[in-house]
């Protein structure tokens, strides 16, 4: 398995280049997803050329403690929810796609940290926005 989606298997998310690649792959899948794609494309009207660098900065700050991300992801999601309500299924699908992306190319301590944070994000946002928290096993990201 050295080509296709598994060519990076064994690499970790321990530098900005790897994080940028993970973000690009993940959100390419999100944008094409039947459930999530319309929220990004039609409701939020995401400009991917602006959004991907912000997402990369978010994950670089979270995983590598790098400066560069400032923002309120919760507030942005709340604004989209006000225009087109999210359901629990949106957060579950987001988490599924995130895990599939990691499984397709990255493993190691930083990848584990990213997975835990994604679980926490899905839990907190689904609880606060729709009142129905997404919880997946012991690694749901809660302390």
Residue 139 domain flag = no
Tens of pLDDT along the chain (143 residues)?
334 444 445 699 999 999 999 999 999 999 999 999 999 999 999 999 999 999 999 999 999 999 989 888 889 899 999 999 999 999 999 999 999 999 999 999 999 999 999 999 999 999 999 999 999 864 444 43
Specify which residues 25 forms β-bridges with. none
User: Is residue 1 a part of any domain in this protein?
Assistant: no
Tell me, yes or no, whether 141 lies in a domain.
no
* Residue 4 maps to a domain: no
**Contacts of 115-121 spanning 24+ positions with Cβ under 8 A:** 115/139, 116/141, 117/62, 117/63, 117/141, 119/95, 121/73
Q: What is the pTM of this model?
A: 0.87
Total number of domains in the chain: 1
């Amino acid at each position: 398995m050295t080509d296709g989606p598994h060519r990076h298997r064994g690499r970790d998310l321990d530098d900005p280049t790897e994080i940028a690649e993970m973000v690009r792959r993940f959100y390419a899948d999100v944008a094409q997803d039947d459930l999530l794609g319309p929220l990004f494309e039609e409701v939020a009207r995401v400009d991917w050329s602006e959004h991907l660098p912000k997402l990369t900065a978010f994950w670089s700050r979270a995983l590598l403690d790098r400066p560069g991300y400032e923002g309120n992801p919760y507030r942005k999601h709340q604004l989209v929810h006000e225009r087109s309500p999210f359901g629990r299924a949106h957060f579950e699908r987001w988490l599924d796609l995130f895990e599939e992306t990691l499984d397709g190319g990255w493993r190691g301590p930083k990848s584990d940290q990213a997975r835990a944070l994604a679980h926490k994000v899905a839990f907190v946002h689904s609880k606060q926005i729709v009142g129905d928290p997404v919880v997946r096993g012991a690694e749901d990201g809660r302390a």
